[in-house]
């Protein structure tokens, strides 16, 4: 991970939770929020990964803590929120980034167990986590869901995953309406193909990577810092009048009009 030079300090005094934040997009977001002044609480399924990520963040001078959290466990989600409140006394920002994709191929050929897993982690868990966090948010707080450009066109090879990400677009709209009267904003980011382990199956071959790059207008893969910059913006007062929106960060890949 190459740190990006950040001059902004829009998040000083804020406390942020970032799920699945020990690698890839999640770690990139945690780093950027911390660089802009936020205190950051990270989580992952493995303690060793949490400790390694915390070490990287602290080397950048970021005030942070973290814990093991399997987002499919309600108890783990409660523990994540409790850690945040016990350590920093409040929550201002939630970045729901955790996702799973245990299967590819046609929907009608996808095992029921895989469908259940995708919906549990990608749809149910963000809702449950938001229920736990929302009661502690105040006016000016921000929630950001990480979706996918595939949400707009659930096509092969991962249509079931894409449908779960489509659900986040609807969740964003619905919760923005519910939480708006409290001054809480809810937005979504739809990344394109980002060069991370999660996207390895799409870009593991030179041919696959070239195909993805050519599908963008700027002819390169996304980087974690691209998504992180969008997350920092939506979490900041610079986006104070933006809610219920999905920001596509995909280098111009065709997705919607």
List, by residue number, the catalytic residues.
161
CB 250 within 8 A of CB 149: yes
Phi first, then psi: give them for residue 68, nearest 5 degrees: -70, 130
Start-end of H helices in 15-103: 24-35, 47-59, 74-88
Residues 6+ apart with CB under 8 A from 170: none
- Which residue in this structure is represented by tokens 């809610």? 243
Measured torsion, CA atoms of residues 62, 136, 224, 114, in degrees rounded to the nearest 10: 130
Q: Give the sign of the dihedral formed by CA 122, CA 24, CA 144, CA 219.
A: negative
The first and second tokens of residue 204, run together, are 């593991």
The first and second tokens of residue 142, run together, are 């921000």
CB 214 within 8 A of CB 187: no
Q: What is the C-alpha to C-alpha distance for residues 120 and 183, in angstroms, rounded to an integer?
A: 29
Q: Give the sign of the dihedral formed by CA 65, CA 229, CA 128, CA 124.
A: negative
Q: What is the C-alpha to C-alpha distance for residues 130 and 227, in angstroms, rounded to an integer?
A: 21
């Amino acid at each position: 991970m190459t740190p990006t030079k950040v001059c902004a300090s829009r998040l000083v005094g804020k406390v942020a939770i970032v799920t699945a934040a020990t690698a890839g997009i999640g770690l990139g977001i945690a780093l950027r929020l911390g660089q802009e002044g936020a205190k950051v609480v990270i989580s992952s399924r493995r303690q060793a990964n949490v400790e390694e990520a915390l070490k990287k963040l602290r080397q950048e001078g970021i005030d942070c803590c973290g814990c093991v959290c399997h987002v499919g466990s309600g108890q783990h989600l409660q523990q994540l929120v409790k850690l945040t409140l016990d350590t920093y006394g409040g929550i201002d920002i939630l970045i729901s980034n955790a996702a799973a994709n245990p299967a590819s191929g046609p929907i009608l050929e996808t095992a029921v167990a895989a469908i259940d897993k995708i919906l549990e982690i990608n749809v149910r868990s963000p809702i449950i986590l938001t229920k736990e966090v929302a009661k502690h948010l105040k006016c000016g707080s921000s929630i950001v869901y990480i979706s996918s450009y595939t949400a707009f066109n659930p096509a092969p090879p991962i249509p079931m995953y894409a449908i779960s990400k489509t659900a986040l677009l609807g969740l964003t709209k619905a919760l923005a309406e519910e939480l708006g009267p409290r001054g809480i904003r809810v937005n979504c980011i739809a990344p394109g193909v980002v060069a991370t382990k999660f996207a390895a199956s799409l870009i593991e071959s030179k041919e696959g990577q070239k195909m993805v790059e050519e599908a963008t207008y700027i002819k390169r893969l996304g980087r974690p810092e691209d998504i992180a910059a969008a997350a920092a913006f939506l979490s900041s007062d610079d986006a104070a009048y933006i809610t219920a929106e999905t920001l596509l960060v995909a280098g111009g890949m065709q997705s919607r009009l």
